[in-house]
Amino acid sequence: MARASTTSDVFNALGDVHRRDILDVLIAGEKSVGAIVDSLSMSQPQVSNHLRVLSEVGLVKRRAEGRHRLYSLAPERLRPLHDWVTKYERVINDRLDRLDDYLQELQRRGDGSGL
Amino acid sequence: MARASTTSDVFNALGDVHRRDILDVLIAGEKSVGAIVDSLSMSQPQVSNHLRVLSEVGLVKRRAEGRHRLYSLAPERLRPLHDWVTKYERVINDRLDRLDDYLQELQRRGDGSGL
DNA sequence: TTGACATATTGCGGTATCGAAATATGTTTG
DNA sequence: CAAACATATTTCGATACCGCAATATGTCAA
């Protein structure tokens, strides 16, 4: 069965750093393909193809204006990712809390174990 | 150049839903390979291999105990992902604010445009 | 040591994906 | 209509990845 396709799974779509780069460029706002090409060092067909993937998976929206196609973020689609990461925040914080406790414990003891 | 490997790029490593499933199981705490196999419907070699990838990319830690290998989350490694998503929170919220403004504007006008 | 158990590794066939190059499509301007 | 411009699509060869089946490694218990 392999992985879910890049065009159907947001996580997999973001598995390519170039696509993340494109999204990062789009944070500033709507941009044409040419503008994206200029911002990043990628060929036009490469950018167009990554945009196709991002569009199919729902991470960007397309709008036509004359001979330009303007792409913009569809950040709602990042929600699955956001939610997934959020689940782990608790785990991360728990660990940090425990580390904190441990360090404070050490300090309370004031032991000179040399470790 | 293609994509960065699953064993070097956290995003790409998470591009496979099975690996996310394994991590989700590990949220509850440290588990042996067999316990993970029982929790998910995957073969033992499949689980072992995904764990290898997760281990190489730094998302889980391994500990030996007798003939068991116990795996646990290394959630600090999710920070790049967390940070990346966080960048987009502002965009998401801005959009929602703007939608709010728009809806309130409509209501203030009380126009019956039917749109 | 032998056998059972737990996990890891290897080899294989099939598929998805990538980058590059060439070309096609669609749009504006003259 | 023709030429220039902006973007999309197709084709190709190379590679990474997946799942499965078989097997190897390592550990405990008798």
Nucleotides of D under 7 A from a protein CB: 5-10, 15-23, 26-28
Task: Give pLDDT tens digits for B64-107.
Answer: 999 999 999 999 999 999 999 999 988 877 766 666 666 676 67
Q: Do B85 and A85 touch (CB under 8 A)?
A: yes
What residues of chain B, 27 to 86, have a C-beta less than 8 Å from chain A?
Answer: 27, 73, 75-76, 78-79, 81-82, 84-85
- Rounded Cα–Cα distance for residues A28 and A73 (Å): 10
pLDDT tops 50 at residue B114: no
Q: State how far the alpha carbon of A30 is from the alpha carbons of A62, A70, A83, B63, B105, in Å.
A: 9, 6, 25, 48, 24
pLDDT tops 60 at residue B111: no
Name the pTM for this structure. Answer: 0.86
Average pLDDT of span A5-34: 98
